[in-house]
A = this chain, B = another copy of it.
Amino acid sequence: MTDSRLDPVLARIDETLPEATDRLMELLRIPSISTDPDYKAECRRAADWLVEDLKGIGFDAATRPTPGHPMVMGKAGAGDRHLLFYGHYDVQPVDPLSLWDRDPFDPQIDETAKGRVIRGRGASDDKGQLMTFVEACRAWKAVHGSLPARITLFFEGEEESGSPSLVPFMKEHAAELQADVALICDTGLFGDSTPAIVTMLRGLLGEEITITGPSKDLHSGMYGGIAMNPIRVLSRIIAALHDENGRVTVPGFYDGVPELPADVAAQWQALDFDAGGFLGEVGLGNPAGEQDRSPLEMIWSRPTCEVNGITGGYTGAGFKTVLPSKASAKISFRLVGQQDPARIRESFRALVRSMLPPDCTVDFADHSASPASQMEISGPMFEAARGALSDEWPKPAAYVGCGGSIPIAGYFKTLLGMDAMLIGFGKDDDQIHSPNEKYDLESFHKGIRSWARVLDALSR
């Protein structure tokens, strides 16, 4: 089936891939490490580079100041349909440098057993992904002289350093950021060839508990046996947080946890997830979550409780017979559906208090408390995008979950009332945040083509 609007754009993308790759290499040469103050000027340079590049395509583009690194905004196109695209131009630090096979900021194309890859810091996260959308716009403009919809580009320079300026900026510029949908290119394919749209993001509730027993560290010879040991108390509490089937025992924890819709369940079934391989890569073999749930549910759609850290007493080399005054743990809950972080926090704290022996006290420290995000996929846009992606890749696109949190998606929802469509072309072996980061040339090429198809589909 030929398409006179889309086909020439795809052809143009294929023909100009070498030039597009060169542009990405140029951007990758700028060491825009946002977390390191020494690289402040480089972050600025990356932002300026993007502004110039966008102007060349015809965007009304400019940097926007923040207390930290600048935002880049670009506007082009017209029409009723308004699409916002988000990406980030900053990158992770590169240490330990000794583990890189080459200079992280002197990128090159490597031939590998699995195909050609672009190697360098930011190749995948997120400069390469960001540029897939920019290149799709460029090709469309070159072929048709204008974009098929009103498009606003929104690039951040602080994503790898906690995004301190993001929320204030979004609030201040809510009007110009408001669009029909937010497109985000910072996620991956499912496996190597199944395009994925992330429609569920787990929320995160972080709690730190510190149990105090004796008022000071004691000698376990003198007090052992008679004084309550706070490590023993903390261990009992942690041990009680899951039942033997892996279910979280905090009262009311599962309130608001939805069952997976039948059509999504069927899609996931079709994905044929290799749980053995996923776990095998990290030395495990047995799904440890709720035993009556599938592995994909465990990581995408079911809530969890994890202990992220524990400490108490003497933890150095050798042995010290201390009976410690305090023991503490950092505990996080991944939330789904309508689970209410505030209610779960209260219920968790009540459970902890109920398990305290008379001689112990507990202090709680708040960490994050964000609810899950669930995109509204029943409207026409999500299905249109899914169809477009399915046309490009060997396998049909799937709505997937994401165990982690991608705060920007939540902000689009909570601050601007927009759904976010998370579409990305990264692969599990891209080594983002690690030495020798890469982005498959195929991801880059088919990523650009995918966005051309999505632009087409969302603007009809």
Q: Which of B208, B223, B285 contacts A299 (CB 8 A)?
A: B223
Q: A288-B226, A298-B226 are in contact. Are A315 and B306 (CB under 8 A)?
A: no
Say yes or no: is A6 at the interface (Cβ < 8 Å to chain B).
no
**Nearest CB of chain B from residue A9's CB, rounded to whole Å:** 35
B221 touches A231 (CB 8 A): no
Smallest Cβ distance from A290 to chain B, in angstroms? 8
Shortest beta-carbon distance, A109 to chain B, in Å? 28
A315 touches B311 (CB 8 A): yes
Q: Does A323 contact B (CB under 8 A)?
A: yes
Closest to A304 in B: B225
Decide: B235 and A334 in contact? CB cutoff 8 A: no
Contact of A307 among B235, B275, B306, B332 (CB under 8 A): B235
The answer to whether A114 has its CB under 8 Å from any CB of chain B is no
- A276, chain B: closest CB distance, angstroms: 11
> Please, which residues of chain B bring their CB within 8 A of the CB of A311?
310-312, 315
Q: Give the contacts of A197-245 with B (CB-CB under 8 A).
A: 202, 204, 206, 208, 213-216, 218-229, 231-232, 234-236, 238-242
Does A171 count as interface, using CB distance less than 8 angstroms? no
Partner of A319, one of B214, B242, B319, B332: B332
Contact A218 B282 (CB under 8 A): yes
| Complex interface: chain B residues within 8 A of A284 (CB) | 213-215, 227-228, 359
Residues A320 and B302 in contact, CB atoms below 8 Å apart: no
Question: What residues on B are CB-neighbors of A228 within 8 Å?
Answer: 284, 286, 288
Q: Is A79 an interface residue, CB under 8 A from the partner?
A: no
Q: How far is the CA of A320 from the CA of B332 in the complex (A)?
A: 9
Q: Are B334 and A225 in contact (CB under 8 A)?
A: yes
Q: Which of B283, B289, B320 contacts A215 (CB 8 A)?
A: B283
In the bound assembly, the distance between CA atoms of A213 and B307 in angstroms comes to: 13
B-chain residues with CB within 8 Å of residue A350 when the two chains form the complex: none
Decide yes or no whether A357 CB sits under 8 A from chain B.
yes
Taking the closest CB of chain B, its distance from the CB of A72, in whole angstroms, is 27
Interface residues of A in 271-322 (CB under 8 A from B): 275, 278-279, 282-290, 295, 298-299, 302-304, 306-315, 318-322
Q: Which chain A residues have a beta carbon within 8 Å of chain B's beta carbons?
A: 202, 204, 206, 208, 213-216, 218-229, 231-232, 234-236, 238-242, 275, 278-279, 282-290, 295, 298-299, 302-304, 306-315, 318-324, 327, 329-330, 332, 334, 357-359, 367-368, 402-405
Known: A311-B312, A311-B315. 13 other contacts (CB 8 A): A204-B321, A214-B282, A220-B332, A226-B275, A226-B288, A226-B299, A227-B279, A229-B307, A232-B307, A234-B310, A307-B313, A308-B324, A315-B330
**5 shortest A-B CB distances, which residue pairs?**
A221-B404, A215-B283, A309-B313, A235-B238, A225-B304
